[in-house]
Amino acid sequence: MGALVKILTLSCLLALTLPTLAEVGWWKTAQFYQIYPRSFKDSDDDGVGDINGITQQLAYLKEIGITATWLSPIFTSPMADFGYDVANLTDIDPIFGTMEDFERLLARAKELDIKIILDFVPNHTSDECDWFIRSAAGEEEYKDFYVWHTGKVVNGIRQPPTNWIGVFRGSMWTWHEGRQAYYLHQFHAKQPDLNYRNPKVVEAMKDVLRFWLRKGAFGFRIDAVPHVYEVPADADGNWPDEPRNENSNDPEDYGYLQHIYTTDQPETIELVYAFREVIEEIDQELGGDDRILLTEAYSPLNILMQYYGNGTHLGSQIPFNFNLLANIGFDSDAYHYSELIHNWLDNMPEGQVANWVFGNHDQSRIGSRLGADRIDACNMIVLTLPGVSITYQGEEMGMTDVFISWEDTVDPQACQTNEEEFESHTRDPVRTPFQWSDEKNAGFSDAQSTWLPVGLDYKLVNVKRERGIALSHLNIYKQLRALRDEPTLKQGDVTVTAIGPNVLAFKRSLAGQKSYITVININDDVESINLDSVFTSISSQLQYVVVNDKSVRRKNDLTFANSVLLMPKEAVVLSTV
């Protein structure tokens, strides 16, 4: 073939042994799928997706083998942050439908054996939430539901109590005329932070969990957990300023400060344990399959591992593993991939389950971030490593970021910047309508216009078309998913390694069963690798089980283990014979 055959050096080979999953709870090997309801399917043609749309299309989740789906918020909201600003925590927003619609969704999900997980936003509510209105009015019961401070007066001028800067730019404090005080908001001014140092808040929020669990939700994705607590105030009720981050020169930008007093406070972990107790309580009360928590935290690994629980408390079953999502870049080599995968597996407390995530509604899509020719590779990593797989809607067919002009931009994180900078802050490009078909608005809606524009590539990248293409991203996803039914993939050990800078490989094995080896050529050199010298006890011949469209080999072809040829960006799963 005239190919450049490389002499490969083997490094970083570490065997990992996972505890055998004696009792496999449903979620431990489950496929999770995130639905962003505004953009999944619009049933009433107002240009915004809704609950009935999800119900209509739930069979699609079954088609791609999903076990459970978490829905971004569907609760009553003025939509300042598209639902992450909740005004009524126990009701459905009319844009998404009614409580009856939600109940119908639950019933349909039950029929299809798909579990519905809701988004729970503990850090803040909307400023239009009844609790906030009462708090601002100083009503006794609610006055300490939020974080209030009269500020400090410097040279006769009133100023916010601290220098803290919010995630969406600018001061974390907004002056409230009615209450004559500042309130804290780690995100948008329309998202006031709840005060978790008030036990009534903790109880009220636990009741919200109970409400939805009793309705039939199987758990929650918990939003923005590291932001829930701020450092305790001193004896005078004041907080310290946060130190500068020398890397940033923009005093309005979140990155300008080191958030040592406003994120990852130890009480946060305790709160997750308290929420888990509610889960256990409702498991007792209602019986049936386990209910679960997935927690969103972009925190250091040692903190994330505490989310799982400690010796005495249970925590979140699934602390999102954003290791790959946050650290893998376009130029990352195979050593980096391997190291990040090891980081999680090697540090996980005994008996816990790993999870793998490459995308969500806040992050640039895989194909745009890492290249469209790495989409199958990422899906392969997520679906063939041990534990839980998590897929953001559209990643299974390879949707990519859609350019949205400044005029069309609606994400508050971008709108609070300016025309020059918004592109590096906007999350709109990953939230565009789901591409079902080549029909009007990609089959998402019959409306004249949709809340965000539909991707220009929808005639090529859509579910309907990809169903008919043997090696489309969608069909490869489905094959990988089917493979997860194999005992080896469900319960097997894993050995992860980089074979030189370009090839990531991992082997799944289980006594008495076939072994499976995922091999990914991350870059554009043709590679020839000797898997025999990398992995122990594999057969001299291996069989192709899943190939991508870069492969010259086909499914069921055989290869010698000591000379596996990989085309640029080829990603395959092989099995022993």
H-helix or E-strand spanning residue 558: strand 558-560
Cβ-count burial of 568 within 10 angstroms (0-12 exposed, 13-18 middle, 19+ buried)?
middle
**Where does 92-240 have alpha helices with state H?**
99-112, 130-136, 199-215
Of the pair 120, 256, the CB lying nearest ligand GLC is at: 120
Which residues, at least 6 apart from 11, have a Cβ–Cβ distance to it below 8 Å? 335, 497, 498
Q: Could you identify the residue written with the tokens 């283990």?
A: 561
CB of 46 to Mg ion, least distance (A): 4
Of the pair 223, 264, the CB lying nearest ligand GLC is at: 223
Of the pair 166, 386, the CB lying nearest ligand GLC is at: 166
Q: Which does 395 bind (CB under 5 to 8 A by kind): Mg ion, ligand GLC, none?
A: none
Residue 342, Cβ neighbours under 10 Å: how many? Answer: 16
- Range in contact with Mg ion (rule: CB under 5 A) among 35-43, 189-197, 419-427, 546-554: 35-43
| Binding residue for Mg ion, selected from 30, 35, 48, 184, defined by CB under 5 A | 48
Of the pair 36, 142, the CB lying nearest ligand GLC is at: 36
| Contact call for residue 44 and Mg ion (CB under 5 A) | yes
H-helix or E-strand spanning residue 346: helix 334-347
H-helix or E-strand spanning residue 505: strand 503-509
| Contact call for residue 224 and ligand GLC (CB under 6 A) | yes
Torsion of CA 91, 96, 101, 105, to 10 degrees: -100
| Contact call for residue 411 and Mg ion (CB under 5 A) | no
| Contact call for residue 223 and ligand GLC (CB under 6 A) | yes
CB of 302 to ligand GLC, least distance (A): 21
String of contacts with ligand GLC for each residue 176-215, x by CB under 6 A: -----------x----------------------------
Q: Which does 48 bind (CB under 5 to 8 A by kind): Mg ion, ligand GLC, none?
A: Mg ion
CB distance 490 to 484 below 8 Å: yes
**Where does 372-426 have alpha helices with state H?**
375-384, 412-415
String of contacts with ligand GLC for each residue 83-102, x by CB under 6 A: -x------------------
DSSP 58: H
| Binding residue for Mg ion, selected from 42, 193, 296, 428, defined by CB under 5 A | 42
| 3-class secondary structure, 273 | helix
| Binding residue for ligand GLC, selected from 121, 278, 324, 340, defined by CB under 6 A | 121
String of contacts with ligand GLC for each residue 348-367, x by CB under 6 A: -------------xx-----
Using CB under 6 A, count the residues that bind ligand GLC: 9
**Where does 197-333 have alpha helices with state H?**
199-215, 266-286, 301-307, 323-327
Strands 564-566 and 541-546: unpaired
CB of 70 to ligand GLC, least distance (A): 11
CB of 117 to ligand GLC, least distance (A): 14
Of the pair 42, 296, the CB lying nearest ligand GLC is at: 296
Q: Which does 84 bind (CB under 5 to 8 A by kind): Mg ion, ligand GLC, none?
A: ligand GLC
Of the pair 413, 576, the CB lying nearest ligand GLC is at: 413
Residue 3, Cβ neighbours under 10 Å: how many? Answer: 12
Which residues, at least 6 apart from 375, have a Cβ–Cβ distance to it below 8 Å? 366, 367, 395, 398, 473
DSSP 171: B
- Range in contact with Mg ion (rule: CB under 5 A) among 36-44, 81-89, 201-209, 405-413: 36-44
Catalytic residues, by residue number, are: 223, 296
H-helix or E-strand spanning residue 174: strand 173-176
List, in sequence order, every residue forming a beta bridge with 118; answer none if it has no partner. Answer: 71, 220
The structure tokens listed for 214 are: 């009793």
Nearest residue relative to ligand GLC (C-beta): 84
CB of 500 to ligand GLC, least distance (A): 36
CB distance 363 to 430 below 8 Å: yes
Q: Which does 549 bind (CB under 5 to 8 A by kind): Mg ion, ligand GLC, none?
A: none
CB of 357 to ligand GLC, least distance (A): 12
Closest CA to 219 of 388, 428, 41, 57: 388
Compute and round to an integer the Cα radius of gyration of the chain: 24
CB of 84 to ligand GLC, least distance (A): 3
- Residues 418-447 contacting ligand GLC, CB under 6 A: none
CB of 38 to Mg ion, least distance (A): 9
Q: Which does 127 bind (CB under 5 to 8 A by kind): Mg ion, ligand GLC, none?
A: none
Strands 181-184 and 157-159: unpaired
CB of 411 to Mg ion, least distance (A): 19
Of the pair 187, 254, the CB lying nearest ligand GLC is at: 187
Closest CA to 49 of 392, 439, 464, 436: 436
State the Cα–Cα distance between residues 28 and 245, nearest whole angstrom: 39
Of the pair 83, 398, the CB lying nearest ligand GLC is at: 83
- Residues 280-339 contacting ligand GLC, CB under 6 A: 296
Of the pair 103, 362, the CB lying nearest ligand GLC is at: 362
Nearest residue relative to Mg ion (C-beta): 50
| Contact call for residue 50 and Mg ion (CB under 5 A) | yes
State the Cα–Cα distance between residues 297 and 287, nearest whole angstrom: 29
CB of 36 to ligand GLC, least distance (A): 9
State the Cα–Cα distance between residues 318 and 354, nearest whole angstrom: 8
Using CB under 5 A, count the residues that bind Mg ion: 5
State the Cα–Cα distance between residues 29 and 356, nearest whole angstrom: 11
Tallying the residues shown for the chain, one arrives at 577
CA 229 remoteness from chain centre: 22
Q: Which does 81 bind (CB under 5 to 8 A by kind): ligand GLC, Mg ion, none?
A: ligand GLC
Of the pair 50, 401, the CB lying nearest Mg ion is at: 50
Q: Which parts of this chain interact with Mg ion (CB under 5 A)?
A: 42, 44, 46, 48, 50
Q: Which parts of this chain interact with ligand GLC (CB under 6 A)?
A: 81, 84, 121, 187, 223-224, 296, 361-362
